[in-house]
Amino acid sequence: MSGPSISGYTGSATTRDMVATEIERRWGKAEVKKYDPEQNTCLTFAKWLSLNFVVKKGEKAIKSVTFVEQKDAKGNVIKKIPRPVFLFYVKQIEPRKEKV
C-alpha cells in the first residue's frame, strides 16, 4: 500500500522489529521486505475499518506496544506507560463488502 502515513508509527526501531519478527514467523522473510510501518501495511482493527477494510475471519492480531507519556503540570515527562497495541498486517484484511 502506498500513500501518506496514517499508521501512528513514531519511528521506534524496537516496535518495528517486534512486528517484523512476527510477520517473518507467520509469512516468511519475503513479507518482511514488504513491511513498511510508515506506509500503512500494519494497522489497528479500527483503522482498517475506517479505510473500508475488514479483518478476515479467524485472523489473530500482531501484538505490539506503544508508550504513553505522563507529564507533570509544567509539561515535563515524568514517566512513560507501556500500552499494548493490536495490529493486523495487510495480508490479514479484505475489502469491506457493502450490505445490500
Indicate whether this model's pTM tops 0.85.
no
Give pLDDT tens digits along the chain (100 positions).
455 567 777 778 888 999 999 999 999 999 999 998 887 789 999 999 999 999 999 999 999 988 888 999 999 999 999 999 999 999 999 999 876 5
Burial group, residue 56, by CB count within 10 angstroms (0-12, 13-18, 19+) = exposed
